[in-house]
Amino acid sequence: MNADDLRASVDCMREGVRAEAAAGSWTGSWQDLVDRLVDVARVDLCLARLVEGHADAVRILDQAFALPRPGVYAVWASRSAGTGLRARRTTAGWQLSGELRFASGVDVVDRALVPGWVDERTHLLFDVDAAAFDADRTSWRTPAMDASRSFTVRVHDRVVEEPLGRENFYLERPGFVAGGLGPAAVWVGGAQSVVDLVARGLGRFRPTPHQLRRLGAAREAVWLAETAVARVASSLDGGHGADDVASARTAAAVAGERVVDEAGRIVGPGGITGDERLARTLADLLVYVRQHHLDLTLEASGRSALDAPDVRG
């Protein structure tokens, strides 16, 4: 699969996502999942973003003891800026209304898992045809991650099928925290892709010592993040390790930002403006890793350090 071909059109991306989605069951070990997502992200970050969403949805359905419908899935669950879907029971059945931001895969995926909020504390999870939503295709105003088709979507009094699982299943299920490891694997793969592209470009010239040093620093950052993600995946396969998912995500996000910075300093403006794929991957990666709430995660880690027994003693 060629990254440039994937990004040529929505149809090309849809074909690529369908092929990847059909290639695995996605409900196996965490280690297998993260390894696969890293590999896909080294091809293209938007492709990996959509494949990760499908994998997450399939795993959620498995946890709800429900079978996936034919096609590609997404998980649309953002409540950014006070948005979100409301769910109410009517004589016609459950109805969904409201607005969702960052609904990835519009025009690409077939179905979406969405939480509908009955009240401020109670939500239900629904499996909905993606065509039920109206998308604002002007809501994403950057070429970065544009092929992920992450738009604001709206729905009004749409009758849907019965919810999956019990009340608050989506956020309270054991796999919710662990699911955050999927995007971290994609960030690692994206960072590795940048290293690959920079190294390939340097191979055409005689690199300077400072370029080699910065390339080495970028490579080490990716290795540390990949090691962290792999370690947590192994722990999850052993039935524990959910508490370390946030740290693995932080390692991956920090590595992504470090690699973007180092790559820009290695190749300079000429390298960025002269290599479309590198410029696109740098932009994609920087936008995508900003999904991680780094300051909040580090603050929580700092508070945890203060509460450690050897500090309190």
Of the pLDDT bands very low, low, confident and very high (cuts 50, 70, 90), residue 142 is very high
Say yes or no: 190 and 291 in one domain. yes
- Supply 213's token pair: 């040093």
Average per-residue pLDDT for the chain: 95
For residue 308, pLDDT beyond 80: no
182 plus 235 within the same structural domain: yes
Asked if the model's pLDDT at residue 313 lies above 60, the reply is no
- Residue among 157, 63, 56 at smallest CA distance from 112: 56
> What is the arithmetic mean of pLDDT over 169-182?
95
- The answer to whether position 31 is within a domain reads no
Residue 76 tokens, joined? 């649309």
CA 254 to chain centre: 15
Q: Does position 82 have pLDDT exceeding 60, yes or no?
A: yes
**Residue that finishes a domain, picked among 172, 206, 236:** 172
**pLDDT class for 291, splitting at 50, 70, 90?**
very high
Which residues form the domain of 222? Answer: 175-306
Find the mean pLDDT for residues 273-283: 96
- Single pTM value for the model: 0.95
- Among candidate residues 142, 172, 202, the one where a domain is terminated: 172
Q: Which pairs count as long-range contacts for 215-221, CB under 8 Å and 24+ apart, including other chains?
A: 215/262, 215/266, 217/258, 217/262, 218/191, 218/194, 218/258, 218/259, 218/262, 218/263, 218/266, 219/195, 221/191, 221/254, 221/255, 221/258, 221/259, 221/262
Q: Classify residue 1: in a domain, yes or no.
A: no
The pLDDT tens digits of the residues spanning 216-226 come to 999 999 999 99
Q: What is the pLDDT of residue 312?
A: 58
Residues 184 and 281 in one domain: yes
CATH number at residue 285: 1.20.140.10
């297998």: which residue's tokens? Answer: 32
More confident residue, 163 or 23: 163
Domain count of the chain? 2
Residue 207 lies in a domain: yes
Assess whether 115 and 219 both reside in one domain: no
pLDDT of residue 50: 98
Helices then strands, each counted (H, E), the chain: 12, 7
Asked whether residue 245 is assigned to any structural domain, the reply reads yes
Do 228 and 165 fall within a single domain? no
Q: Which two tokens stand for residue 153?
A: 């979507």
Residue 185 has pLDDT above 80, yes or no: yes
Q: What is the pLDDT of residue 181?
A: 97
pLDDT of residue 294: 87
Query: Which of 127, 147, 172 is the last residue before a domain boundary?
Result: 172
Element (H, E) at 234: helix 209-237
- Is 20 domain-assigned? no
Q: 179 and 291 share a domain?
A: yes
Helix (H), strand (E) at residue 117: strand 111-119
